[in-house]
Structure formats: structure tokens, C-alpha cells
């Protein structure tokens, strides 16, 4: 399809999705939600083995475009819960369920749902001048798009409450120190660092990575014995893949493996 609010391209196993409303700090309106859904639906079909999400211009994503929510159909107050159900909930769940690694390249402010969109990705790399803001408290709202789930798991309850209740800006450096994100890099290095990560993951054994992220994300709801069973089952499955055979063969032959994602 033709996109107006995002840029989506895929080549060499890397899918790249750029939120492209720089005049609004890439905040979401209903049209951009529809375009992102369409792009994510085609990621695996296009043969991608890693997805990179970033923002155009000076920001990553400022969350919801409040102008788009100002008036509901018919002129009444907007139903925010319905918007979550229709747009943000499926977006976060789709990102988490993708059977490949996802990288958020945070190039500027990530606020509200934009911050939690980044946290829904497997790896978050942020430029030093980037920041994360759980802005919901300033509007009398609760952190959405997974914010109340991601924050305590990543930084603990005390810091999660501070970020959510005070709505203070958190620098990328502090976010990395707290374990909220994977890495903070100099602004001028962001593109090169993310490109290297994407190429590394695109050449990796994709099915193994997909099962790894699934096992880690789902471990919160299991006991240790249950998780050991999951690890056993996944190893049994992955031990029959072409990539495992290639990895073992390359190790024995002291060469670089050529994984295909199968």
C-alpha cells in the first residue's frame, strides 16, 4: 500500500519502519495507526529477519496526537478506552509477537505511548540527547500502551512509580543506567550502531532468537520447573532446524556460520 505517515522498506533481511510525521514529533493519528498495522502485518511475509523502528526528524514519537482525539465522532468526548482497544493494544501485542528481533532507534523525545512503543521492542538504543517521558499524569491518565507493565519489570516498582506519577523527563543516559533501555550512544553514532545491530541480527538464526524472546517474555507467568520444561521443548524443536546443523558444522569446521533463519 501507499504510505503517507510512515516510511516502510525492507532489504537484505532488515525491515525499517520510520514514523514520519516530524511536524507533530511523529505522534499517532488514526491514519498512522492504520499504516503501521499494515506494515507490521507484512514484515515476516517479506522475508525480514529483524525490524528497526525509528522516527523522522528530531523526535522518536510524542505518543498520541491530542488534536486527533479532541472531538469524537458526533461531537462528543472521545472514548479513550476504545482507542486503546482499537489501536495501541494490538500494536504492542503485534510487536511482542513478531517472530524476529525488533530494535527501537530512539533519536529524540519518546513521550507517552511513544515511550512505551519503544519499550515494546526487544532492544532499545537511544541517542544521548533522547529522552523518555511518561507524560500521562499531566493529563490525568494512566500510562498506557503497556507502560504499567513494562516499567516495574524493567526498573522496579519505586522507579516505575516515580516515572509514572511525576511525569519527569528521563535522559537516555539515565534510562540506560537504570536498565530501562539496552544502550545509550552518542547522537552521531546512533545510525551506525543500530545498522550494525540490525545486520548482526539479520544474519543470526532467526527461529532461535524468536523462541528466546518468547521464552523470556513469557517466563514471568511461570514457575522455575515450568520454565525448565519450556526450555527443554524449545531446545528439542530448535535442535532439528537447519540453522542448528549449520551452527554445529561451522563450529567444527572453524568457519563463520551462514544462517538462513530456518
Per-residue pLDDT reduced to its tens digit, 13-51: 999 999 999 999 999 999 999 999 999 999 988 899 999
**Percent residues over pLDDT 70 in the chain:** 96
pLDDT of residue 75: 53
Element (H, E) at 149: helix 147-155
The helix/strand/coil state of 214 is: helix
pTM of the model: 0.94
The reported pLDDT for the residue numbered 68 is: 78
User: Within 13 A of 79's CA, how many CA atoms are on the CB side?
Assistant: 8
Choose among 106, 102, 103: nearest CA to 187.
106
Q: Is the pLDDT of residue 129 over 70?
A: yes
What pLDDT does residue 73 have? 52
Contact 176, 184 (CB under 8 A): yes
pLDDT tens, residue by residue, 189-212: 999 999 999 999 999 999 999 999
Angle, CA 23 vertex, CA 22 and CA 26 arms, to 5°: 45
Instruction: Look at residue 1 and tell me whether its pLDDT is greater than 90.
Output: no
Q: How is domain 206-253 classified at the architecture level of CATH?
A: Orthogonal Bundle (1.10)
Sheet with 131-133: strands ordered across: 59-61, 109-111, 131-133, 170-171
Domain limits, CATH 1.10.12.10, in the chain = 206-253
How far from the centroid of its chain's Cα atoms is residue 181's Cα?
Answer: 11
- Residue in the structure block whose three cell numbers are 529524540: 108
CATH code linked to domain 6-202:
3.90.226.10
Please write the tens of the pLDDT for every residue from 170-187: 999 999 999 999 999 999
- pLDDT, greater one: 71 or 125: 125
Please say whether the beta carbons of 141 and 120 come within 8 A. Answer: no
Q: What secondary structure letter does DSSP report for 17?
A: E
Ranges of CATH 3.90.226.10 domains, the chain: 6-202
Instruction: Say whether pLDDT at 248 is over 90.
Output: yes
Q: Is the pLDDT of residue 70 over 80?
A: no
pLDDT at res. 76: 54
Q: What band does 67 get if pLDDT is binned at 50, 70 and 90?
A: confident
Residue 141 confidence (pLDDT) above 90: yes
**pLDDT exceeds cutoff 70 at 127:** yes
Amino acid at each position: 500500500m501507499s504510505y503517507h505517515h510512515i516510511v516502510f522498506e525492507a532489504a537484505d533481511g532488515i525491515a525499517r519502519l520510520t514514523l514520519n510525521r516530524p511536524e507533530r514529533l511523529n505522534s499517532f493519528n488514526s491514519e498512522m495507526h492504520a499504516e503501521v498495522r499494515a506494515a507490521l502485518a507484512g514484515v515476516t511475509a517479506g522475508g525480514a529477519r529483524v525490524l528497526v523502528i525509528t522516527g523522522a526528524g528530531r523526535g522518536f514519537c510524542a505518543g498520541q496526537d491530542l488534536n486527533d482525539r479532541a472531538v469524537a465522532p458526533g461531537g462528543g468526548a472521545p472514548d479513550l478506552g476504545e482507542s486503546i482497544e482499537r489501536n495501541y493494544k494490538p500494536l504492542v501485542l503485534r510487536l511482542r509477537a513478531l517472530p524476529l528481533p525488533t530494535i527501537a532507534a530512539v533519536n529524540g523525545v519518546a513521550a507517552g505511548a511513544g515511550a512505551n512503543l519503544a519499550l515494546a521492542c526487544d532492544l532499545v538504543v537511544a541517542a544521548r540527547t533522547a529522552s523518555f517521558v511518561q507524560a500521562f499524569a499531566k493529563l490525568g491518565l494512566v500510562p498506557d500502551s503497556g507502560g504499567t507493565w513494562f516499567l516495574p519489570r524493567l526498573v522496579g516498582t519505586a522507579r516505575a512509580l516515580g516515572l509514572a506519577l511525576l511525569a519527569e523527563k528521563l535522559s537516555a543516559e539515565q534510562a540506560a543506567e537504570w536498565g530501562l533501555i539496552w544502550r545509550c550512544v552518542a547522537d552521531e553514532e546512533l545510525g551506525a550502531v543500530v545498522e550494525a545491530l540490525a545486520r548482526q541480527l539479520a544474519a543470526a538464526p532467526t527461529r532461535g532468537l524468536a523462541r528466546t524472546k518468547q521464552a523470556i517474555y513469557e517466563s514471568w507467568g511461570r514457575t522455575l520447573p515450568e520454565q525448565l520444561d519450556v526450555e527443554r521443548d524449545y531446545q528439542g524443536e530448535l535442535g532439528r532446524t537447519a540453522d542448528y546443523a549449520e551452527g554445529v558444522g561451522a563450529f567444527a569446521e572453524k568457519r563463520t556460520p551462514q544462517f538462513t533463519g530456518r
